[in-house]
């Protein structure tokens, strides 16, 4: 266990040193430039107590279970938000965050350079505590340069929840023109049943 922890920390330190990316920061990553002059993707988000009111942003979403918690390379269990503007960012996120689950999650064949010419990919990841639970993306709202993702965590209506912790994610496709100029990101979470 200790060797695994040291290995994961070593990869994270190497990633930060080589790329300048900070995987688990909050919204202060908006607008900063990496060595190549491109804006870095954002990781983490501010949790809101109520839904943000603003302009509704059209989107297309694909949600899926990524795998059990042990299959993920040490991402936090709370909601993480990755705003991906370039194919090389997606490759980095897939490799370091999802390891062997890469092709099961955000496909680099689907989300290629052609896709990123006009689109941005917003990736949500979250441990829901049980494989019985699901995450639904309800809406994207933009107000005063803040993008807010509104989600519902769904559990079975019969109340029976399994104890196998699963990691769930959503790949949200958004037109670049619809969310240009964002400088912060937040989310609002509700609970429901299915």
Lowest mean per-residue pLDDT among 42-56, 134-148, 149-163: 42-56
- Is residue 76 within a helix (H) or strand (E), and if so which, with residue range? none
Task: Say what the pLDDT of residue 65 is.
Answer: 64
pLDDT tens column, 157-182 = 998 888 887 778 888 999 999 998 88
The pTM of the full predicted model, rounded to 2 decimals, is: 0.73
Burial letters 6-15, b for 16+ CB under 10 A, else e: eeeeeebeeb
Q: Say if residue 189 is exposed, middle or buried (CB neighbours under 10 Å; 0-12, 13-18, 19+).
A: middle
pLDDT tens column, 60-105 = 998 766 655 454 555 677 888 888 889 888 887 776 666 655 445 6
In the 8-state DSSP scheme, what is residue 115? H
């Amino acid at each position: 266990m200790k060797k695994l922890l040291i290995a994961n920390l070593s990869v994270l330190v190497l990633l930060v040193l080589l790329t300048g990316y900070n995987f688990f920061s909050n919204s202060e990553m908006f607008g900063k430039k990496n060595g190549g002059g491109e804006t870095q993707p954002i990781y983490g988000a501010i949790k809101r107590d109520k839904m943000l009111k603003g302009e509704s942003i059209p989107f297309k979403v694909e949600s899926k279970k990524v795998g059990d918690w042990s299959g993920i390379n040490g991402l936090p269990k709370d909601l993480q938000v990755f705003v991906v503007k370039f194919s090389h960012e997606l490759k980095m996120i897939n490799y370091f965050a999802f390891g062997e689950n890469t092709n099961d999650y955000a496909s680099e064949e689907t989300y290629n350079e052609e896709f990123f010419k006009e689109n941005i990919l917003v990736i949500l990841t979250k441990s829901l505590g049980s494989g019985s639970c699901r995450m639904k993306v309800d809406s994207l709202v933009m107000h005063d340069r803040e993008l807010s993702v509104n989600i519902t965590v769904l559990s079975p209506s019969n109340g029976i929840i399994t104890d196998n912790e699963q990691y769930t994610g959503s790949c949200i496709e958004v037109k670049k023109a619809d969310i240009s100029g964002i400088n912060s990101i937040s989310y609002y979470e509700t609970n429901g049943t299915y």
